[in-house]
Every structure is written in structure tokens, then in C-alpha cells.
Amino acid sequence: MDNQYGGRNRQSKKKSAARVVIFLFLLAVITALGVFSLGQYMAVQSLQSSLQSLEEKLDQVEEEKNRLEEQYDQLREENEELREENKMLRSETIIEHGNRDTNKVAITIDDGGSDAVNNRALDYLKEYEVRATLFPTGQNVESFPETWRRAVEEGHELGNHTYSHPYLTNLSEEQVREELSGWQGAVEKAVGGSFHSPFFRPPYGDGFYSGQANHRERLQPIVAEKGMFPIMWDVELVYALRNEAYSAARITEHVLNNARGGSIVLLHFTEADIEALPRIITGLRERGLEPCSLRELLLAEPQT
């Protein structure tokens, strides 16, 4: 009997121990599942919080977008008004010189010559650290695109001088537009991108002299459509020296005797004009005048 009882007792203890192990295992599993569930819950809560924060930021971005769109619309309206005002100004303004109360003198050079002459002018301007405004024809730009790309890269301004240098008073309005657009296309191809100049110089000055009011009334609105001002001059050489020997020395003398603060000097890409260029630059500086581009002249502050 004792052996039977002892055997049952041992079996009962083994079963109890197994139950304890199973219980502890289940408890551990339940605990692990609880911890995992808590982690998932916290992650969901964090995600919901992040989503809410993101939605708030998106709302703020949307509000900012709407505000910027309103500002853009307002600026566009203001810009349209300014464009109209500027167009009216361009249609009424012909620039012959700058402010006389500045020491600036604009150096402008017209037409374009041989590639050697064109580059010699750029070499001189670079050597003497002068930025000028150059008015090549579109045909010359097409012939020597690398040279005119160099001019832009070195900081010079290019102004529209028509494609083929015609007398504008002999052209229809549509032909005038074609001449201006032809120049534009040639320059944009040469420089490899969009290009705009605010300056237009009529070939020979034709149509824009003071005695040509009827032609000016017809031509100037076309120039204004393209966003440009007609640029004339107050110091020139071709007509002034037409009865004299046209030499570099005489060119230099005439420019230095006639240029003053605010002057616009008209030169051409000829051998004589370009040969005179270094002496013109140094001579102006010796007189307290500073050669510059048209933009620099027209934006210059008056001297006290």
C-alpha cells in the first residue's frame, strides 16, 4: 500500500510541477503579448499624432500658397501697370545724352567691322577696363557670333541696330518690325539664349532727328513695343569731320574737345575710330570724365 501511495504522490507532484511550468509559460506569453500590444498602441498613437501634425502643416502650407498667389496676382497687376507706363515713356523719349551733373561719358560703337577690328576694340576696352554699349548689325553678329558672345561675356551691352542697317523711313511698319526681330534672333543665336536690350539705335539716325517728327510718330511706337528706347548721341564724327582728314588723331581731338558730363559718344567699328579708342579713354580720364556704358551713364547719380 505504501508503495502505491508513494507512486501516486510522486505522479501528483510531477503533474503539479508541469502545471506550474505551463502556467508560467502562458504568463510569459501573455505578458509578451501585452507588452507588444502596448508598443503597437503607442506606435499607433504616435502615428496619429504625427498625421495630425502633418495635416496642420499642410493646412499652413495651403494658407501660405493662397497668400502668395494673392500677392503674385497683385504684383502682376502692378507690373502690367508699370509696363504700360514704361511703354508710354519709351514711346515719348529719345535719349541724346545723360545727366549733365555726372562725370560719366557713354562710349557707343556702331555697325561692326571685320572680325579683327571688332576684337581689337574689345581688347582695348578690356585693357582699359571700360564697359561700352555696342550696336552691331544683325548681319555682323551672324558673321562673327563668337566675337559678340565674347562682348557679352566681358560685360558689354549690345543694342539693337537692325538686321541689315536700312533707312527706316523707306520701310513699312512691318518691315521695321522684321528688322528689329532679325537683330534679336541673330543675337540670341550668338549668345546661346534669350537676350533683351533696352537700347535701339536707328541706322544713320534716320527717322529720329528733330526735323522728322512725322516719321518719329510712326517709328517710335514700334520701338517701344519691343521694350526699347531710341538712343541718339551728342558727340559724333562722321558728319562733324566730313570735310577733314579722318584720322585717329583728329577723331581723338574732336571727341575730347566736345565731350562733357553726360555725353553719348558715337564711334564706329572702323580702323581709324578703334585706333583712337585708347587715347579717347585716357584723354577723358585726364579731364575728370569716366567712360562707361549707356546703362552706367543713365543710372549714374548726379555729382554735387
d(CA 269, CA 217) in angstroms, rounded, equals 30
- In this structure, are 193 and 258 located in the same domain? yes
- Specify the CATH number for the domain of residue 209: 3.20.20.370
pLDDT of residue 252: 97
Same domain, 128 and 47: no
Whether 142 and 13 map to the same domain: the answer is: no
Q: Could you tell me if 71 and 108 lie in one domain? A: no
CA distance 87 to 91: 6
pLDDT of amino acid 144: 98
One domain, residues 151 and 275: yes
Do 284 and 83 meet the contact criterion of CB atoms below 8 Å apart?
A: no
Each residue's pLDDT tens digit, 194-239: 999 999 999 999 999 988 989 999 999 999 999 899 999 999 999 9
Which residue type occupies 211?
Answer: G
Domain, as residue range, for 77: 1-90
Looking at the structure of the chain, the number of domains it has is 2
Q: Name the residue with cell 537700347.
A: 199
Sequence-separated (6 or more) residues with CB below 8 Å from residue 159: 108, 133, 134, 135, 197, 199, 200, 201, 231, 294
Residue 95 counted as domain residue: no
With a CB cutoff of 8 Å and minimum separation 6, the contacts of 76 are: none
Question: Is residue 119 assigned to a domain?
Answer: yes
CB count in 10 Å sphere of residue 200:
26
CA distance 240 to 238: 6
Q: How confident is the model over 122-173, as pLDDT tens digits?
A: 999 999 999 999 999 999 999 999 999 999 999 999 999 999 999 999 999 9
Q: What angle do CA 285, 124, 140 make, to 5 degrees?
A: 125
Report if residue 96 sits inside a domain: no
Q: What is the DSSP string of 137-152?
A: -HHHHHH-HHHHHHHH
Asked if 147 and 240 sit in the same domain, the reply is yes
| Domain final residue pick, 90, 117, 143 | 90
Average confidence score pLDDT of the chain: 88
| pLDDT > 60? residue 5 | no
d(CA 234, CA 239): 12
Instruction: Compute how many other C-beta atoms are within 10 angstroms of the C-beta atom of residue 258.
Output: 14
pLDDT band of residue 83 (cuts 50, 70, 90) is low
Q: Do residues 129 and 219 share a domain?
A: yes
Q: Which of 90, 119, 144 is the last residue of a domain?
A: 90
Q: Are strands 229-230 and 290-292 parallel, antiparallel or unpaired?
A: unpaired
- Residue 142: how many other CB atoms lie within 10 Å: 18
Question: Is 164 in the same domain as 57?
Answer: no
Is position 79 within any domain? yes
Is there a contact between 210 and 96 (Cβ–Cβ < 8 Å)? no
